[in-house]
Amino acid sequence: MYNKESLHILQRALDKLSEGFAELPPFAEEIPPGVEEVLLQAAERMQDNFPYQHPLYAGQMLKPPHEIARLAYMLAMWINPNNHALDGGRASSAMEKEAVAEIALLFGWKEHLGHLTSSGTFANLEALWVASLIHPKKKILASELAHYTHERISHVLGIKFQKLSCTRTGEMDLKKLEAQLKKGNVGTVVVTMGTTGIGSVDPLPEILALQKRYAFRIHLDAA
């Protein structure tokens, strides 16, 4: 069922990676005892997971990552670079900056500051943390269909959070939003670019127009 041909590509990529370190004294990386046994046990246990990867399986909105993502992840694991600072991952930090610039371009942003995270939850955590620093006393507003992480994270960070009920088609209700904005205590509005439940997209252009009248931050959740 799985296409394992791509593992040859990984092998070639690993050879290419090692060429860059050919001047270092050679060393043999031993496979620790038990690796095969443990991996086979894990594979057997995972047979009891649902087959998200199968084209006929429709019970999950997620599919396994693209082939290139899986291979690139494995390739990176041979170094495990630390992108926290440039001296922890020179090349991979530069690659991260390129990736962020491409994501920003999807939204037409030429000026941007960002980094990659391990998940949507972490991205939301960081965005709401920044929101809480910029507007410590104001609340976070999100539609009732926004991802549940926003409410939980607001509790964790100790910031006020309020849900707005949606329109019949699941978008943020602009009249309800404006009524809240008029009160002057909204610091950040969460705008979801595809809700988890039904895929509805909050009306970003109209919310941007409201932003010109009322000062608030927008947190785009496109996870």
State which residue, 10 or 223, has the beta carbon closest to ligand PLP: 223
Distance of CA 192 to the CA centre of its chain: 13
Q: Does 117 bind ligand PLP (CB under 6 A)?
A: no
Q: Does 180 bind ligand PLP (CB under 6 A)?
A: no
Q: Does 121 bind ligand PLP (CB under 6 A)?
A: yes
Quick check: 194 and 93 in contact, CB under 8 A? Answer: no
State which residue, 185 or 196, has the beta carbon closest to ligand PLP: 196
Per CB under 6 A, which region of 29-37, 102-110, 116-124, 174-182 contacts ligand PLP?
Answer: 116-124
Tell me, letter by letter, the H, E, C secondary structure of 34-72.
Answer: CHHHHHHHHHHHHCCCCCCCCCCCCCCCCCCCCHHHHHH
Contacts of 1 (CB under 8 A, 6+ apart): 53, 54
Distance of CA 52 to the CA centre of its chain: 19
Number of residues located near ligand PLP, criterion CB under 6 A: 10
How far is CA 101 from each of CA 28, 139, 164, 211, 219, rounded to the nearest angstrom? 38, 30, 32, 24, 18
Q: Does 149 bind ligand PLP (CB under 6 A)?
A: yes
- For ligand PLP, the binding residue among 10, 71, 104, 223 (CB under 6 A) is 223
Per CB under 6 A, which region of 16-24, 63-71, 120-128, 157-165 contacts ligand PLP?
Answer: 120-128
State which residue, 144 or 178, has the beta carbon closest to ligand PLP: 144
How far is residue 145's CA from residue 195's CA, in Å, rounded to a whole number? 6
- For ligand PLP, the binding residue among 127, 192, 200, 207 (CB under 6 A) is 192
Residues that bind ligand PLP (CB under 6 A): 119-121, 124, 147, 149, 192, 196, 221, 223
